[in-house]
Amino acid sequence: ETGVTQSPTHLIKTRGQQVTLRCSSQSGHNTVSWYQQALGQGPQFIFQYYREEENGRGNFPPRFSGLQFPNYSSELNVNALELDDSALYLCASSLAAGTNTEAFFGQGTRLTVV
Amino acid sequence: DQQVKQNSPSLSVQEGRISILNCDYTNSMFDYFLWYKKYPAEGPTFLISISSIKDKNEDGRFTVFLNKSAKHLSLHIVPSQPGDSAVYFCAASAHNNNDMRFGAGTRLTVKP
């Protein structure tokens, strides 16, 4: 059973550029959530995908978008990058949306916007 | 709006003693609570959870206590070990809701 994997692990982008982050969910999990963790803070919910549909969204602007694929892997896309987007981006997969179950996190992608 | 708060950014404990990490929440709709542990350069790892129908859940050295009337939960680690040194996040969710709300974390240092 493979865990949650994210790529790339580190990334440096210039303000105004676009970025795509990728996540492979744990085997058997159909729900993927994305979180942004700024330095010194806890993870903040961006959105969740369940069976390829967005299933909830946090307080993030529309330039943060996502996709989930038939194999339940997922992408996070951020357009028009801003300096404040610099953070650790975490992907978490879980067994089913809308139930009380723990989520399993990947190691994260450290994004730096310069 | 910070619905989950961990007011102690750090805690230092001697090996073998008890570590107590605290967490407060404001949203009365939360009914499921989790603790995650995070080492540097790794994602958070699930540690233990508790449903609002319980007031205690134990797993080995780790016990979580929930006080719903006070909207407070705590994680007890006993005995503490140096390998427990990490950042601990408290998280909460409401049934059939999609997002977990996290606290800012408490950095636990267990000294040998």
Find the residue in A nearest to B102 (Cα). Answer: A42
- Whether the pLDDT of residue A25 is over 70: the answer is yes
Among the listed residues B56, B91, B95, the one whose alpha carbon sits nearest the alpha carbon of residue B76: B56
CA neighbor of B30 nearest in space, from B91, B75, B82: B91
**Using one digit for the tens of pLDDT, what is the confidence trace for A55-112?**
889 999 999 999 999 988 999 999 999 999 999 999 999 887 666 678 899 999 999 9
Taking a C-beta distance cutoff of 8 angstroms, is the pair B104, B43 a contact?
no
pLDDT of residue B94: 86
CA distance A104 to A96: 12
If one counts every other C-beta atom within 10 angstroms of the C-beta of residue B30, the result is 22
What value does the mean pLDDT take over residues A19-42? 92
Backbone angles phi, psi at B61, to 5 degrees: -80, -5
Judged by CB atoms closer than 8 Å, whether chains meet at B97 and A104 is answered as no
Q: Is the pLDDT of residue A27 over 90?
A: no
Please indicate if any CB of chain A lies within 8 Å of the CB of B36: yes
Decide if A94 touches B, using CB distance below 8 A.
no
Substitution target from A37, A51, A100, A109 for chain B, most B beta carbons within 10 A: A100
pLDDT tens digits in sequence order for chain B, 112 residues long: 679 999 999 999 999 999 999 999 999 999 999 999 999 888 999 999 999 999 999 999 999 999 999 999 999 999 999 999 999 999 998 876 667 899 999 999 999 9
Window 41-100 of B, Cβ < 8 Å to A: 41-46, 49, 51, 89, 91, 93, 95-100
Residue B23: list chain A partners with CB under 8 A: none
Q: Which domains does chain B have, with CATH numbers?
A: 4-111 (2.60.40.10)
How far is A44 from chain B, CA to nearest CA, in Å?
A: 7
Q: How many CA atoms lie within 13 A of B77 on its CB side?
A: 25
pLDDT, position A95: 82
Mean of all residue pLDDT scores within chain A:
92
- What's the pLDDT score for residue A103? 85
